[in-house]
């Protein structure tokens, strides 16, 4: 694996996040597992990533909807939540420290994942410290999937065919699958990747709609 130093804005850092929750109601449900993998703009991971399971009471877990009770029970996540030593606050601190280690510059890292807008809602309410360090933009692989479904249906079928296992809905595995999916789309529907050049763009002047050439 390539040896990485902390990434800067021009490296195009992507902060891949996937969360498992007690449900999909971001106003009432809670994050119970979070995983993060950071890549550069070429989808090369800086390391193996991190994965934390949040200690959650039996009362909260028993209140999950039927799908979550079945799926998280089958995957072993429910049991792991009861046994975890990491509190919600401790996990926030550890995740933010990890992201800042690899992307010190506020606003340089872009949230990425599959249907990651859903995770973002939970993060904005439950872990706003993390979202404040990231860019206001996101890379959602599901958007590319939906465009491919409409414009390149045969390639969308190829994507389905290459999947040999069903998702266990565990955070770190789902991130790895999302990265591989974006690599697949890059190789099949995008023109060849150009070598990145530093153009002097920063998070601040991008927010102002300016690009320094």
Catalytic residues: 136
Q: Encoding tokens for residue 77? A: 């996540």
Strand partners, 139: 112
Q: Look at the alpha carbons of 65, 140, 111, 43 in this order and tell me if their dihedral is positive or negative.
A: positive
Strand partners, 15: 38, 111
Q: How many CA atoms lie within 13 A of 130 on its CB side?
A: 29
How big is the chain by its Cα radius of gyration, in Å?
Answer: 18
* Contact predicate 54/81, CB 8 Å: yes
């Amino acid at each position: 694996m390539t040896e990485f130093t902390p990434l800067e804005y021009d490296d195009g850092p992507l902060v891949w996040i996937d969360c498992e929750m007690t449900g999909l109601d971001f106003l009432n449900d809670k994050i119970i597992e979070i995983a993060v993998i950071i890549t550069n703009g070429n989808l090369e991971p800086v390391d193996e990533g991190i994965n934390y399971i949040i200690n959650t009471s039996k009362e909260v877990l028993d209140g999950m909807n039927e799908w979550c009770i079945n799926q998280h029970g089958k995957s072993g996540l429910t049991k792991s939540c009861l046994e975890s030593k990491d509190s919600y606050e401790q996990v926030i601190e550890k995740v933010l420290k990890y992201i800042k280690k690899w992307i010190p510059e506020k606003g340089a890292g872009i949230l990425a994942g599959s249907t990651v807008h859903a995770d973002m809602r939970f993060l904005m309410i439950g872990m706003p410290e993390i979202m404040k360090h990231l860019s206001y933009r996101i890379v959602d692989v599901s958007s590319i999937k939906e465009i491919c479904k409409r414009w390149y249906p045969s390639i969308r079928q190829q994507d389905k065919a290459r999947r040999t296992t069903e998702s266990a809905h565990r955070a770190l595995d789902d991130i790895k699958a999302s990265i591989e999916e974006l690599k697949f789309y890059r190789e099949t529907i995008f023109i060849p990747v150009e070598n990145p050049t530093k153009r002097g763009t920063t998070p601040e002047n991008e927010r102002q709609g300016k690009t320094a050439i």
